[in-house]
Structure 1
């Protein structure tokens, strides 16, 4: 089937394909700009985005704020008219500061998950920035919509992320390791059914964007047939030349087999999917790797108790592939690099 456009408020993407935000340093201006230029929706990860700035160790907040503007500008140079936004985890420290800076710099949208982003309407008030919560159930969607309505706002779109996604997941650790989680199809159907009632009551359009384990044109068509207006992919974009990850990170995806892909409990307390490697093995054997320093990245993190510093682990992964390598369930199916235009053409059928 010929894929339709994706409409998010007054934004229109030629392809209904959203590149998911991947941090630290995996989806920056290079990947997001390339996706937007090729007709999709590009997402820059705002998680510790300034980790390569020269003053990051001394002042990570200032470095992150500066990098938000720099990465958006570089992405715009690649795609002056494309749709480009940011992903921010709602459990980040200084979340409000970073969201407001992305708004000030002219992001088209903010997508936010890893918790319930209740404050997003207030942080984007008075702007044209589109706001998209990430949910994994109708219950979470209902809570967010209820809270946002009291602020006079509704989501411009909702990302429904299923259990086969990479990185942090919106499902219980026990359900993930015991394979008792719901299918993405069921998550999409229940969120779509709930949003139908919201649309009818408030006379608005709130598209659903489905993500998690999608890899082929057939997957895209299946999600659209269930009522999704678009799809979100992350893992497949890692295996592209334009992805901002280092070569060793990409090679870890290409070398991975099914047994290497594991469910872990991350230091922030959430279930996550990652590739087994010496770092994870060491973390398990030692029980705890005391942080050398605290970067103040997560609200709930206690440096004295955390299993390891998730920021440091993700920095190492981004820089040389030696740290924590998040991935989606389909990473083992990737065996060679492609380009963003070729990947989008393949997904388009």
Structure 2
């Protein structure tokens, strides 16, 4: 199969693969620049991006703002001809501020999920930053297109369609996830493609649709390209790369896990997620984890009632304290069996697509 480039307005992405934004500290400038240099879109996660800053505990927001600017600048310096994006969750406190900062710092794209980014077009006004919502249904895609056009005379520059096999926070109810079948992403992508076509024809624009969630091989990529998607987003597949910004013990947790070790979990954010079963999940389910410090990361989280601090759990993951960490993963995380370079992985995926 011929692999065509991904065109997002005036951006041309040689390899139609977006590396999913993974926080906290899993995808920073190291991973993002490596993917961008291989022709894909490298994505920095804005979630608690400043956790390594010296004043993170005392001045969390300021540390995050400083670090986000630094990570974007470093990624663009390391990949001067590449496309660099930022993933910013709608559920974050100070969401508006982080979007504006990312756009001002020169992010080529901003991708927003964990809620519907209703005001995103207004927040990037005056910049050349491309914007995309993450949706999990045709209905959500229609809401975003209609709302953005009515309020801001703008449509999404592309749409990321995330299915139930993804890692991190999922846009489904827990009972929906438990009865899903393997081909659900295909159905959702088709629904979104049908919605997007209406707006493309009506306003004479092109809105690429990106499939995400459980995509692991080049054959998977080819399947969605044949369906009509313009590209794919892959997060979990990039975890076991040398350039992934997380500690090696985090990567080893994926290499050592089995399919049976991956389960659905309840997150303090109010959304279900998928993670590797470990000591932390067992303690959290028993209510044995105390919240000693609130980082004000998520609007819906109440430190007085939450079962654990998701920021601390994800920071522990990035730092390699895997027994005391939340290890988010897509459904295929157990298939990672070795650490490779981003270049090796991208070459393998492209080769598999062409053979499919």
TM-score (norm 2): 0.96
1:348 aligns with 350
State the distance in 2 between where 1:140 and 1:292 align. 37
Question: Of 330, 339, 354, which residue of structure 2 is paired with 1:328?
Answer: 330
- The CA distance in 1 between the partners of 2:53 and 2:147, in whole Å, is 36
What SS class does the counterpart of residue 88 from structure 2 fall into? strand
Q: Tell me the SS of whatever aligns to 1:89.
A: coil
RMSD: 1.1
Residue in 1 aligned with 2:237?
A: 236
2:142 matches 1:142? yes
| 8 Å Cα contact 1:13/1:39 also seen in 2 | yes
Corresponding residue of 1:168: 169
Match of 2:226 in 1: 225
Contact 1:175 1:181 in 2 (8 A): no
Please name the residue that 2:354 is paired with.
none
Equivalent position SS for 2:329: coil
Alignment partner for residue 339 of structure 1, among 334, 341, 348?
341
Distance 1:346 1:11, change over 3 A: same
Is contact 1:134–1:158 with CA below 8 Å preserved after alignment? yes
Shift of 1:152: 1.3
| Within-5 A mapping of 1:1-349 | 1-149=1-149, 150-179=151-180, 183-285=184-286, 287=287, 289-320=289-320, 321-322=322-323, 323-349=325-351
Unmatched tracts of structure 2, length 5 or more: 352-356
| Offset, 1:271 | 1.1
Task: Give the Cα–Cα distance (whole angstroms) in 1 for the partners of residues 117 and 18 of structure 2.
Answer: 20
Shift of 1:24: 0.3
- TM-score, normalising length from structure 1? 0.98
In structure 2, C-alpha distance between the alignment counterparts of 1:235 and 1:223, rounded to whole Å? 18
1:123 deviates by 0.4
Whole-angstrom CA distance in 2 between matches of 1:103 and 1:111? 12
Conserved 8 A contact 2:164-2:180: no
- Report the alpha carbon displacement of residue 144 of structure 1 after superposing the two structures with TM: 1.2
CA distance in 2, matches of 1:68, 1:267: 24
1:176 Cα deviation after fit:
1.3
Per-residue Cα deviation, 1:262-303 (whole angstroms, up to 9, x for no partner): 011111110100000101111112x25231011000111111
The answer to whether the 8 A contact 2:36-2:84 is kept is: yes
> Contact 1:211–1:233 at 8 Å: present in 2 too?
yes
Q: Distance in 2 between matches of 1:74 and 1:134?
A: 26
The 8 Å contact of residues 184 and 212 in structure 1, kept in 2 or not, is answered as yes
Q: How many residues align?
A: 348
Note if contact 1:163-1:182 (Cα within 8 Å) is conserved in structure 2.
no
* Residues 16 and 230, structure 1, Cα contact 8 Å, conserved in 2: yes
Return 5+ residue gaps in structure 1 as ranges: none
2: CA distance, partners of 1:2 / 1:152: 35
Return structure 1 stretches of 4+ with deviation > 6 angstroms: none
